[in-house]
Amino acid sequence: MKIATKYAGEVEINPQNIIQFEHGIPSFEEEKQFILLPFSDSPSPFYILQSVATESLAFVVMTPFQFFPEYEVKLSDSVLEQLEMEDQQDVAIFTMLTLKETLQESTANLQGPIVVNSKAQKGKQIVLNESNYGTKHPLVALQASGKKEG
């Protein structure tokens, strides 16, 4: 199956790799199908979460643990049920990025991770209300410059 993408033009995808978001993604509730595409040809923690239906809708996401090794996501029973999670090994966590001109200026949304059941190909963006995570965590550790994380 071929789809038009925001960053890579037309690409061939395997329909079995389409991730179903039953309720869409916040602010894009009508978008129910996405695919994870590699960010580059070389191995990387970064991916593109591309809408299957809308060429212009794509998010840069990453697996957060390389940049934030202490990051924890507690999944509620309702999320586990919605995503039909049977095995912890099927859980994949991604965070959306806001890319700026430099990596030092770029941020990750740790408060709203995307949780994917990689076996059932079901996904959901959740909000971690009871955490100290924010929506704009710097990807690169802040130097002693007096700046605060936000």
Task: Say what the pLDDT of residue 141 is.
Answer: 63
Res. 16 pLDDT band, cuts 50 70 90: very high
- 143 pLDDT higher than 50: no
2-138 belongs to CATH 3.30.1360.70: no
**Percentage of the chain with pLDDT > 70?**
93
Task: Say what the pLDDT of residue 144 is.
Answer: 38
Average pLDDT of the residues in 65-77:
93
What ranges do the domains of the chain cover?
2-138
> Where do the DSSP E strands lie in 6-103?
9-12, 19-20, 33-38, 46-51, 58-62, 91-98
